[in-house]
Structures are given as C-alpha cells and as structure tokens.
Amino acid sequence: MLLLALTGGGSLGRHYIAMFEATQNVTLKPTETWREALLDTRVMDLFFTVHRKIREDSDMAQDSLQCLAQLASMHGPIFPDESAQVSYLAHLVEGLLSMINGIEIEDSEAVGISNIISNLITMFPRSTLTALPSDLFTSFINCLTLLTCSFGRSAALEEVLDKDDMVYMEAYDKLLESWLTLVQDEEHFPRGCFVQPAVQVFNSYIQCHLAAPDGTRNLSVNGISSHEEEEINELQEDDRELFSDQLSSIGMLGRVAADHCIPLLMSLLEDRVTRLHGQLQRTQQHLMATSDPGSMDRKVLDDLYEDIHWLILVSGYLLADDPQGETPLIPSEVMEFSIKHSTEVDINTTLQILGSPGEKASSIPGCNRTDSVIRLLSAVLRTSEVESRATRASLTGLLSPQMGKDIMWFLRRWAKTYLLVDEKLYEQISIPLSTAFGADTEGAQWIVGYLLEKVINNLSVWSSEAELANDTVELLVTLVEKRERANVVVQCESWWNLAKQFASRSPPLHLLSSSVQRSLMKALVLGGFAHMDSDAKQQYWAEVLHPLQQRFLNLINQENFAQISQEEAVKKEIVATLEALCGIAEATQIDNVAALFSFLMDFLSSCIGLMEVYSNTPETINLIIEVFVEVAHKQICYLGETKSMKLYEVCLTLLQVYSKNNQSRKRNDATAEEDQYQDLLLIMELLTNLLSKEFIDFSDTDDVFRNQDQGTPASSRTVSAADVVLYGVNIVLPLMSQDLLKFPSLCNQYYKLITFICEIFPEKIPQLPEDLFKSLMFSLELGMTSMSSEINQLCLEALSPLAEQCAKTQEKDTPLFIATRHFLKLVFDMLILQKHNTEMTVAAGEALYTLVCLHQAEYSELVETLLSSQRDAVIYQRLADAFNTLAASSTPPTMDRKQKVAFLKSLEEFVANSRMIDRLDDDVVTMETELQSRRTQSEDPLPMLTYMAEH
C-alpha cells in the first residue's frame, strides 16, 4: 500500500498489510510517532494528486482511493488535540470536494469515494464535524446529497441492465448508511440542516422506483428496458429483506423531512390505488366482451402493482420500526409531525376516511383537514379493500400476490406500533393518533375487526399462495401476542368462527401449508389467554384444544393403528397434530407456560411411541423431534428443577428410541445423507436448547407452577441435563462426517453444541469413551484448521475451559492433558505464523494463555524454535524483545484473571508488531527484485507507486 511506502515498511506498515488481506476498508490508528509525517498537509495533497493522475486506470485508482479512505479514517493519539483534528478534517474535505467537483466519476471510483465519505463521517467525532467552517460543511453536505442521488440513479440502471458487478449499488448503500449515521445524531448539528438534503434523496429514491411519467423505473436505456415480470418473480429474496438497509435509511430520511415525505407518500399511494381500481374495472369489462382472455395487455396493471409495492414498503419503513425484543414506539419525528399539524385537523373527518376504505378519500367532504399519518394508513387500507372487492368479483387472477404480501407486512408492522397505542410510553401524544388508535376507542375496535376479517378472507382466497398466507397469519399472531390487543380480538365473533373452523379441520383452512397451520395454532392459543370470564375460557379451550387431543387419542388408540398408520389420511392427521403441537409450544409466554407445559407433556410420551411406528418415515421422525425441539426452546427457561427433570427424562427416552431405531433403520442411498442431515440438525438443536438452561433461566423454583402438583422432589432427581446432552453426543459424534460438515447450518450447530458442552460440562469430557473423545478432539482441530472464522472462534472458546479443567485436576498423563499440549502448538502457529481474522485475536489469546499456563516448558520450546529459524540478526532481536515483553506481562503465568488481562493486552500489541515478521526478509528480497525489474521497464515513477500500493 502507498502508506507503507511513506512509513518505510515498519511495523505499522506490516500490520496494515496483514489487515488488508482480510478486508479492503481498514481504519488507521497510528501512534504519535507518526504525527509529523501524517499531519503534514503535503502528504494528503500528494495522495489526491496521485489519484488525479491515475484515476483512468481502474486498478490503480482503486488502490489510491483505498489509501485516501484510510486517511479519512485516521484517529487515535496521532492528534494532539481537537484543533489538530479539525484542521486535518477540513483539509481532507477540501481535497475531496476539489477532487470530485468538475469530474465525471468513473465506475471504478464509486465504491472508493463512498468509503472515503463513510469513514470520514463514522470516525470523526460529531464535535469535529460541526467545528468545520459553515461554508465548508454546507458544501460537503451538498456534495454528499448530489452523489447519493447520482449513485442511486446509476444503481437503478445497474438493476435494469442486470449487471454482475453492482458497484453503484454498493456505493449507494454505503452513502445511505452514512446518511443514517448523520441523521441519527442530528441533535449535534444545526437545526434543520438535513431537511432539504433528505427531501432530495427521498424524492430521488421514489422517482427511481416509480413508473413513468412520475418516475424512471421502466424507461428504456439504450434500447434495454427493465426485466420482464417472469424474471422479477424469480427473485429468491423479497425486496423488503433484500433492500432492508436501503429502506431503513430512506425511511429515516423521510422522517427528517416528514412535512414533505408523509403527504407525498399519501398522495402517490391514493393516486395509484384509484388508478388500480379503475384499471381492474376496465379489465373486467374487457374480459366480459372478449372470447380471448390471453389478448389482454397486463402492462398497465403490472406497473401499478410495482408502484404500489415500493410505496407501501417505503411507507412501512417511514412510519414504524421493527425492533427485535423491544417495545416498538411511534418514531418521535412522526409523532411531532402529527402533533404539529393537529390544530389543522378535523378528527371526525379523519376518522370517517379511516373507516371508509371502500371510498376515495378525496370524495369525502373536508378531506384536506385530515391527519396525514392516519390518512397514509387509510391509503393502505383502501388498497386492501380494492383487493378484497376484486376477489369477491372473481378477479383474483388479475391481482398480484406480491401486493397482498406487502399489505399484510405493512399492517403487521403498523399494528405492532400504533394499535392500542400506550400513552404512558410517550412524553407527548398526538390527539388524532390517540383518538383513532388508543385503548378503548371505537377506532381501535373497528380496525381490529377489519384486520380480522381481512385475515380470514386472505386465508380463504390465498390458501395456495404460501408466502402470502404466511404473512397473513403473522399479522394474526401480532394481533394476539400482546394481551391488550388479544382482549379486543376475542370480542369479535369472527375470531370464534375462525377457531371452530380450524379445530374441525374444515376447508379451506386444511389446505394451508404446514408452517401456516402451525402459526395459526400459535395465534389461536395466544388468543385463548386473553381476558374472558371462566365459562367463555372453558368453552374456548373446549373448541380449540379438546378436538385436537380427542382426535389424536382416538386415532393412536385404535387396535389396528399400526396397520393403518401408513395410510395417507392417517399420516396427514398425524402430521397436522404434530404441527399444531409445535404451534402450541411457540405460543409459550411466562404467564401461560404452566398450562401449556402440562398440556404438551401429555402428548410427548405418545409422540415417542410414534417414533416406533414411523421409524422408516424420515419426514415424520423429523417432525416428532421438532416438537421436542420447540418445547425445549420455548419452555425450558421458565421451568424449575422438577419440571425441567420431567422434560429431561422424556427427551432422554426420545434419544434412546431414536438411537435404537437408527441402528436398524433402512435408508435409501439417494436420500440417506439428507435424512441424516435433518435428524442430526434437529437433535443438536434439541441438545443446545436443553443446555441453554445454564445460560438463560427465568424460573423461580417452579413458582409459575405453584398451584400444581410438584411431583418428585428435586433432591431425588435421576436425570440431569448433562445426562441427556452427553447421551445425545454419543449419538451425534459417531454420525458426523466431513461430508455432513459441508452443510453450513449443520456445521454451525455442531460446533456450537460441542463448545457449549466444553464450557458447561468440562469435567465430563475426560469421562467420554476413548473413541468419542478422539472424535471430539479431531472435530476441534478440524474446526480450527479447516473451517470458517466463526467456527475457528467457537473451537478456540472451547479450549480454555478444557485447559482449566486439566489445571484443576493436575493429572498430567490423561488423554485430555496430552491433547491440550497439541492444541498449544496449533494456537501458537495460528497467532504468530499464520494469517487469521484479527477479530479472533481475543479468543485465540485466551486459549493461548490457559494453554501456556498448563504447558510452560513446551511454550518456551516453541518460542526458541521460532527464534532459531530467523537468519536476520535484527529480526531475531526484535522478535526476542517482543516475546520477552509478552512474557513479562505474566511471570510466571497462572490461572489468574488479572494476569490473563495483562497478557491479552500485551498480546494484542505483540501480534500487531510481529505478525509475519518471520517472512519479512523474503518479502524484502522479492520487493527489491520486482522494483529493479520495473525500473528497467520505465522511468515513469507511477509503476513503482503502483507496486508499492500492491505490497
């Protein structure tokens, strides 16, 4: 790299070479000794000058932009004070603006320039950015705005042309992330300074995703137009996931400029839905008048569906977040926007538009005096209503399932945040929003009823569209997963009708896919814990769970069950019951675990019996194991000792039956590996879930079961988690092959499991049978030497507790002690001699320290061997000094936390300064040879700079 040329190839340069092998965007943190060189403005000017000279050579331009990106990331003790940092940043921004202005950016420059801007915004403190001269800061923001819009248009063009190398898309994503960083810290900047830029970027994004004439999405470019509909439908990932980062940034920018963006989305969506309604009517008339339905041109409809798709996605990301595990709140910018305009709002008219999805908003008198946030929701409800009416008019074939998915996704995201809004969570609340969606309001009750009817209609009409049905039932789960919402839902007669219909396996619900039926069962169970009087609750469970239990028992208790078990109708009933049990387990919450655990335990023993009956039906075996996986996953953290032991016992029995059947199970060669993969993955998930009890435990000595019989006292327990897990390991280890480890999910689950076992039960590892112990050690070595960095880290984390266990027992002739000696050399080589991900240094360092404590003599021997291999006396001495400094941090090394922390701190510096030092003399020879070769080819200094950039 060019910085290496300036730093003379010292330890700083070598350290960054090593890091560049892993990533192309590394931050620069030089020590104060580099202050004079790197804070000299002429150095930065040189890099900008070099780039201007070589920018037409794409390879060299990327190298020079990497150097500039590093300079833009510079931080740490090199800056003596904030003033120096501000001066450096100002010169950097001036150079960047000078470089960009007046040129047409090449494709090869886009990502590099976006990296420079990203590093600049991410690495420099907000106080430094705001200390820039106001004109310079404004120029920078204006440049960032223009670049973002330009890269966005070019990214859209890349999609149209279906390019393999999406450089503008990558650059656009990077700039949007930079905007997100800025606006999330907007309180540090002058008030309102990002509003106009946000408007421009938001408008540009919308324009690129709308059809002409309002947008540019389907305009042809050099005779090439956008993908055909069939190609679009082949996308593996939904746009809302594929472009989630982009949409998050655009949604945030939309909030910054809420006064412009919310009314814009509302207007555009209302217009598209009105046009869609009219187009569907015209198409219906055309179909009635023609005998050839194939002659109909769908282009207008398809363009409308694509417009609506993007408008709904952007609206969803603007109006609400979807934080995992947290209570979603109405974004403060949206709340402030609604409050600011509330004096102009007629609440009655707003509620009338909300409650009239069958009518155009513009046809209702006073529609201009309405809350735009509520009206944007109303536009989505209007879209939903147009879809529902089209299905009732037998026009389902003209509709877009993608639009149906978008509506369900939006309504689910919206309902989590706005429906029955809790005023206590906000310092100030919008009157229109609280009136329309607050607790005990007619608006909230109406919306719940409307959404419930929509869910039921979708499950009937779209049962064959698995993804749409899944999004629909996920909305249903959202409506009942919070008790306050569930209390309103169960008051609707349609909810009870849905429950009865599903429990009786009535059409069309029985046509739904297995995963949808599972989620539907989860929703129905969650609804059953809503507030009802005792008679209503008893009646509800009698209609939902009792039929499931009764049908299952009646079936398996038949005398000829073994003979009829393979009949298709019987297998379907068994599968439906198992899916329902998974759904019941998924509905577990802390306040319903007692009832659900008791209900499910009655089934689990019967499920083990099914293992015998369906031993040669892999898909059924997998589903039976999955029931146990879900029960353990959702309930183990709430169970006290007594109930946990019951679950351990039944899981142990399951594994014993599986092991017995597996030995005699006949597998078709073509599917054997896939079957084995599924079995092992599920068993390892089960074992990992049981182990999680050691990390996550919300139980209080069976307090949630206090009204139930406690059963066998914990003190007389016979089965523990260790018993189950180690029995499971006896099954898993012999079956794991290197071919099976090529499945990424199986490999991750396997190494996660053995790491957990080493961490939680290290004392059990030496007790394993010899063959299993060797398999486990081989697996750890394989994971450290031949797997991904994630697996490497898991294996390193497993080594420390094993070494600590050896130190506790102080037995030096055990297989484990001998194995740890072997691992010492592996970890030593990994840290000192081999290229590795720098993020693993801590895990590798902890493992190395514990292993050094155990094998001090062997460690000294490794160091001596390395030193004796060095031919250069200078390198020998530097390495020796580095090892002496490392050893001095913990002399002698013991299993002491303070010593370990000191060792790790010294190790980080040691690795930075000494990594690859043993190869440096070879590198110097290679560099001198190639430089001489290049000198003979040309007197131009640029090839030499290019070489140094590469090295």
Please report how the helices 244-256 and 258-289 are oriented relative to each other, as an axis angle in degrees rounded to 10. Answer: 120
pLDDT at 662: 82
Residue spans of the chain under pLDDT 50: 1-24, 221-235, 701-717, 915-951
Give me the amino acid identity at 189: F
Asked if residue 367 lies in contact with residue 349, where contact means CB atoms within 8 angstroms, the answer is yes
DSSP 565: T
| DSSP string for 95-125 | HHHHHHTTS---GGGHHHHHHHHHHHHHHS-
Cα–Cα distance for residue pair 856/821, rounded to 1 Å: 10
- Phi/psi at 328 (nearest 5 deg)? -70, 135
Please report how the helices 195-209 and 244-256 are oriented relative to each other, as an axis angle in degrees rounded to 10. Answer: 140
Cα–Cα distance for residue pair 802/762, rounded to 1 Å: 6
pLDDT at 673: 66
Cα–Cα distance for residue pair 481/496, rounded to 1 Å: 17
For residue range 144-202, list pLDDT tens digits in order: 999 999 999 999 998 888 777 899 999 999 999 999 999 999 889 998 999 999 999 99
CA distances from 275 to 203, 300, 301, 383 (A): 21, 10, 9, 11
The torsion angle over the Cα atoms of residues 203, 205, 209 and 210, rounded to 10 degrees, is 0
Residues 67-106 as b/e (b if ≥16 CB within 10 A, e otherwise) read bbbbbbbbbeebbeeeeebbbbbbebbbbbeebbeeeebe
pLDDT at 160: 81
Return the structure tokens found at 400.
């877009």
pLDDT at 312: 98
For residue range 2-59, list pLDDT tens digits in order: 444 343 334 334 444 433 433 445 678 888 888 999 999 999 999 999 999 999 898 8
* Count of CB atoms situated within 10 Å of the CB of 57: 15
For residue range 479-494, list pLDDT tens digits in order: 999 999 999 999 999 9
pLDDT at 941: 33
Burial class of residue 557, CB neighbours in 10 A (0-12, 13-18, 19+): exposed
Q: Helix or strand or coil: residue 221?
A: strand
Cα–Cα distance for residue pair 580/514, rounded to 1 Å: 9
Cα–Cα distance for residue pair 162/422, rounded to 1 Å: 46
Q: Which residues contact 247 (CB under 8 A, 6 or more apart)?
A: 240, 313, 314, 317
Asked if residue 657 lies in contact with residue 612, where contact means CB atoms within 8 angstroms, the answer is yes
Please report how the helices 815-832 and 897-914 are oriented relative to each other, as an axis angle in degrees rounded to 10. Answer: 40
Asked if residue 849 lies in contact with residue 895, where contact means CB atoms within 8 angstroms, the answer is no
Cα–Cα distance for residue pair 532/135, rounded to 1 Å: 64
